[in-house]
A and B are shown apart, each in its own frame.
Chain A
Amino acid sequence: MIDRRRFIATGASGLLLGGCDRLNDSPGFRGVLRSAEKLTMASQRLISPRDALAREYGESDMSPIFRSNGTRMPGGDEYARHVAEQFANWRLIVDGLVARPLSIPLKTLRSIPHRVQITRHDCVEGWSAIGKWHGLELSRILNHAGLSTRAKYIVFHCADRFGDKPYYESIDLIDAFHPQTIIAWGMNGHLLPVPNGAPLRLRVERQLGYKQAKYIQRIQAVDNLASVYAGKGGYWEDNADYEWYAGI
């Protein structure tokens, strides 16, 4: 009797779980769940003023140690050479749907008056760290390049690779022109360390950590994401099925 009960209980939980796993494997069901994420993005955008600012913190709120995540040291001879040169020859390429493609020396980026913000970095895994970022508003770079009216997304191409795939990320123009969206070259009062994305990384403060692309080499304006790598708008989106919109 007990054995039969246990058998039934195990069978029932197995069926339920197996059912969930099978649903999870079904593209149709994933599509239904995905439509809820579209609803989440639409709702968050609806209630957020375009320029609603992420919380900025005081010096006393900062994490004693700001951990790094993902790539800590990009591979390849080229990046190693840049590290050896202390990034003296690093340039930021801005191209795609822009009137004036740019190739900006790192030195120039660092010499322009910049924004400093103490913000919280939230990893999709659940942890948070508060750090101080120094960098140039992305909107100023894009305005300088003369963004085409056809551009809908900004893609960030990175120097690091996961396996054989390059890291990249993308955001839409609402986030690209947000006042706190910066191309950061400094962190916590110093130049950006290598594990945190030296020499340039993105801060897009209303989204999760995997959107904060590090080791940025190139910024590309595009009208759709389908033609970029596997087409979902980012390394994690392409390879681990993460959501492109990471506002929650």
Chain B
Amino acid sequence: MNILGISALYHDSAAALLRDGRIVAAAQEERFTRRKGDARLPEQAIAACLEAGGLTAADLDWVVFYEKPMTKFERLLETYAAFAPVGRPSFRRAAPLWARSKLRIPEQIRTALGDPFTGRLAFTNHHESHAASAFFPSPFEAAAVLTLDATGEWGTSSIAFGQGHRLTMLREMRFPHSLGMLYSAFTAYCGFKVNSGEYKLMGLAPYGEPKYVDRILDVLADVREDGSLWLDLSYFNYCQGVTMTSEKFHALFGGPPRRPESWITRKEMDLAASIQAVCEMVVMRAARHAHRLTGARFLAMAGGVALNCVANGRVLREGPFERLWVQPAAGDAGGALGAALLVWHHYLGQPRHADPGDSQQGSFLGPAFDRDEVEVFLDSVGARYERFSDEAALLDRVARLLAAGQVIGWFHGRMEYGPRALGARSIIGDARDPEMQARMNLKIKFRESFRPFAPCVLREHVHEVVEMRPGEDSPYMLVVAPVRPELRRPLSAADLERLQHPDLRVRVSVPRSSVPAVTHVDYSARVQTVDAERHGRFYRLMRRFYELTGCPVIVNTSFNIRGEPIVCTPEDAWRCFAATEMDALVLEDCLLLKADQPAEAVIDAQAYRAQYELD
């Protein structure tokens, strides 16, 4: 039985393929089209999934779309009716889109799959898809499930209980009252892009003081004890307009929104800290409510807000649940997987056996490229490389380059599904190097330098680096934990002065621990644990680095520049390598050193950056 899940036509479209309930492949369309957050029907991702499964469209029994388009349309009409006669500009944009595309999803899917597809089409509910993506691949036989995002059809958050192969929805919060919308309103107000800038706002929060929390709770959002919330819509514009916030919102916070790319002031830092505090409060209360409703020991989460790893870390440390599992593709892309799983378990009633690790396979579910393909490509562009037939020799060489402070592009195995690079398409470096963060940010990622990088930590050493239990798993980089006190560095008077500097680049350059490149100003770190079972060669590389240096941590950031989707193919990786100041590139068994490359191989960084819209 082959089931294809699709999420599309909102943002970040994706496809996922199940065969007899096992995840065969999953990928986001943006990785193929090289258009960040590409929302179009994921034709290339579908093709990649089918290829990975050795299938054609004729072999598909079911194709499942991750939400109910007509229910969403119903919500849209009800919203316009509620605000009419205001709302015309929004309707002007929405109506043709629906008329030409979104009311014709079945036709579009059948066209994309072609005549051979004779299977059945199904449509699941948005939050059920999220909940399914959180529970079914999780390691839990039974768990509470909490989904939090901006909005689906009507739902903006949900609580469910998963047991075996059944998912029982229990509660739902409805549009327009939404934690995701609230967070995104502040994201937009602080001058970041909605749908991608939320991560920046979270990264900005530790620089500020949560001095606006009372104002948010008194005026904007009425947060109830059970984590439900009501928003005063007069401060927002997303129902009837084409912006997130209204003039009343701007007046409340003393001025218009920050212009994108302009100087970040104390006000934005404080707003970020405040909305982050409110977000954590809501998530904690909702998690406790889910616990009261279900009595479950474990919690699974999904939805865009579940990518807020700071809030997740608090749930894990303080919440009532013993364990937490978050779907790595927690945003809408993950809906493709959830939709397919719903049909398999719910509609078809197929049993489920929880894998003690999980069944997400490390989220390495995208395309892979073998040694021959890599070499054919490298030869075609005249790249100079060294090929290693002995993996140990390759890893020893790469570990020594890392220890020497080199920044390395690492490309191995199947591409990640979800927004994080987890060791298949990563840029890696030595976390001990105090210059590493600034160097990676400015010369390789070309992005704001206030954001810390994530540490990859050998799982067996995680408790030595951050305040997590020995051997505790965080393989998807979705939990933030405090760096252990003994690794923290005492601050001098000069350091303290620099930490007050208005330029965040100065602040972030103050080393906070013995692994400064991955320690945020509040001594937190967004941890990814690396283990032998899930990560294979990447784990063995880290082991070798540990043997050489005694350090079980490296820096891991996504293999891309700002605004660019994470690389997918060897060609994407080569181009990114050639356009940035990366020192070396590992493409499967081939090692390329920047210094060895012919002059004509260098790509102009400006031209390369110009291809991608800033996120």
Does A pair with B?
Answer: no
Interface residues of B (CB under 8 A from A): none
Interface residues of A (CB under 8 A from B): none
